[in-house]
Amino acid sequence: MNEVIDRRGFRIFPGYFDSESQIALVEDLREVLRQAPLVQPVTPRGQKMSVRMSAAGRFGWISDRKGYRYEERHPSRVPWPPIPDRVLALWGDVAGCPRDPECCLINWYGEGARMGLHQDRDEADFTCPVVSVSLGDEGLFRMGNVERGGKTESIWLRSGDVVVMGGAARLAHHGVDRIRFGSSSLLPNGGRINLTLRVVT
């Protein structure tokens, strides 16, 4: 693992997961997705999001016509699978939080997918950080401010990188402007997987 980078309160751990660990982690996620397949969410206005989503843990995050919220079951009504041990170990290493994560959101970015600037604020406890893992193709991660607008900063996240959004960065706007499709050989068909770990209650 390389030296930790601090950008606007976002703590970035370049290369936290080496190539062998990334392969093992993808296998863990394949098992999760066998039980809780990726779905393409829509916004409350009915617009399809460009990412596909699933989750592990007690809760998953849902977006549909009813709004944004956490649910204890996949849209198919099966319970979310447990968070893989490898992911829990990461949380214990970098989060600095006495509570265990209750949700591991899984976002898959295909070619052309992006995530607009947003805040993670559907949780009840903002003292716990959000921990993000990048796997597969590189993604251009944009870091903004707590208030919408103002100057932003961007950094390319590579496969195996980890970002911790805590403290001043916990409610900062952030997003993914684009991915370099095909820049990684980790996923046979290309694309980027992003995991975000959260304490929900």
- pLDDT tens for residues 97-124? 999 999 999 999 999 999 999 999 999 9
* pLDDT over 70, % of the chain: 100
Residue 89 domain-assigned? yes
Residue 161 domain-assigned? yes
pLDDT at residue 2 greater than cutoff 80: no
Residue 113 domain-assigned? yes
- pLDDT tens for residues 148-165? 889 999 999 999 999 999
Mean of the per-residue pLDDT values of the chain: 95
Domain encompassing residue 189:
5-37+57-198
The pLDDT value recorded for residue 1 is 62
Residue 154 domain-assigned? yes
Q: Tokens standing for 28?
A: 């863990």
Number of domains in the chain: 1
Bridge-partner residues for 140, per DSSP? Answer: 156
Q: What mean pLDDT comes out for the span 79-88? A: 98
Can you give the pTM of this predicted structure? 0.95
The pLDDT value recorded for residue 3 is 87
Residue 42 domain-assigned? no
Q: Which residues contact 170 (CB under 8 A, 6 or more apart)?
A: 120, 126, 129, 130
pLDDT at residue 37 greater than cutoff 70: yes
- pLDDT tens for residues 123-136? 999 999 999 999 99
Residue 51 domain-assigned? no
Residue 61 domain-assigned? yes
- Per-residue burial over 69-103, b = 16 or more CB atoms within 10 Å of its CB, e = otherwise: ebeeebeeeeebbebbeebbebbeebbebeeebbb
Q: Of 99, 85, 106, which Cα lies nearest the Cα of 39?
A: 106
The pLDDT value recorded for residue 14 is 97
- Per-residue burial over 119-158, b = 16 or more CB atoms within 10 Å of its CB, e = otherwise: ebeebeeeebbbbbbbbbbbbebbbbbeeeeeebeebebb
Q: In a 3-state reduction of DSSP, which class is residue 3? A: coil
Q: Of 198, 9, 18, which Cα lies nearest the Cα of 107?
A: 198
We report the CATH number of the domain holding residue 9 as 2.60.120.590
Residue 52 domain-assigned? no
Specify the length of the chain in residues: 201
